Structures are given as C-alpha cells and as structure tokens.
Amino acid sequence: MSNTTIQSSALGDVSHYLRERIRTVPDWPQPGVMFRDITPLLQDPKSLRVLIDVFVHRYMDAKLDVVAGIDARGFILGAILAYELNLGFVPIRKKGKLPFQTVAEEYELEYGSATVEIHADACKPGERVLLVDDLIATGGTMMAGRKLLERLGATVVEGAAIVDLPELGGSRHLLDSGLPLFTVCRFDGH
C-alpha cells in the first residue's frame, strides 16, 4: 500500500463519480466552513456500493486484524468494511459514550477541540488495524485515533477516508507523522 489519493485514470473516474455525490453545505457548523456532507453518497445504493468496493479492493489482501472507525461517520464506512473483509470492528467514540474502562485522547479540530475514547480492551498488542473516518481536515481526529490504538499496542497499518481537504493540512500532517494514508477524493479549498 502506498500513501496516495486516487488519481489514476480509471480510479480517477471513480473518484470523480463519488465526489459528485458529496454535498457541500456552506457556513456549517459555523461561518466560513464548507461542510462536505457524505449523506447523499450513502443514501444512493449504487454510490455506496462503489465506495465500499474501492476500499474492499484496496484492503482485501492487506493482512489486517481489525477495522477501527471514528465517531460517527467513520462507524458507517468502518463497520461495512469490517464486515466485507471478515474482520472485527472497533468504535472510537466521543468522550462519555463507551460503558467500559476507556483510554482517552484530546485533540484539536478546525473549529474547536474534542476528546475521543476507546475501550481499554478494544484490541490486542500487535494487532494490525485499519483506521477509518469519513474525512481528513486538520488530521486531529485521525491522529487521536491512531494514538489511542498505539497506546493499546496495536499497529495502525493505514488511515483511510473518503474525503481529503488538503488545504487544511491534515493529510500532510498525518503523512509526515509516518501514517500511510488513503483517500478516495479531495476537495481543494475548504
């Protein structure tokens, strides 16, 4: 696996197809933010299948042990992908949502800060994990998820997302930290 956003001609067509099904909502959740809403992509059966197939084909031979998804939209993609790859699924939740002993990590995002948690027994040392979210903006959420998994002794094989917002610097930050990263499409500008 390489650090990449799909850009080749055949996969570029798929990227373009999926990108066109992502709605942009200006000034949400605050003025100046261009929110990339994946719900239209998920609502359409064909688009959802194409999206999942892109990820399944990428990871079907990756020798993974588990898929971890970040609250909340990472749960959608991550759980389906875990099922398709015949792997278990680990939720990384917002603070206060998990009922058992947890490990927490605070992080910054493009319009505030937050904390995510994982169950202390969510994965075993040495397990190979695919970390999934819907979007890479500042990279804070994915970096926090990675830190949680690594604190439990897991190895994050790659971070994966549908959308990259490269101008916010998150994908560069994640790549510079040594995390291989795969995204399906990008939106220049934010």
Residues recognised as catalytic: 73, 110
Which DSSP string do the residues of 27-83 spell out, in sequence order? Answer: T-SSTT-EEEE-HHHHHSHHHHHHHHHHHHHHHTTS--SEEEEETTHHHHHHHHHHH
Q: Which two tokens stand for residue 54?
A: 């892109």
Q: At what angle do helices 73-84 and 45-59 cross, to 10 degrees?
A: 60
Q: Which residue has the tokens 């795969």?
A: 182
Give the C-alpha separation, 50 to 55, whole Å. 9
Count of helices and strands (H, E) across the chain? 6, 10
CA angle 106, 161, 62 (to 5 degrees): 105
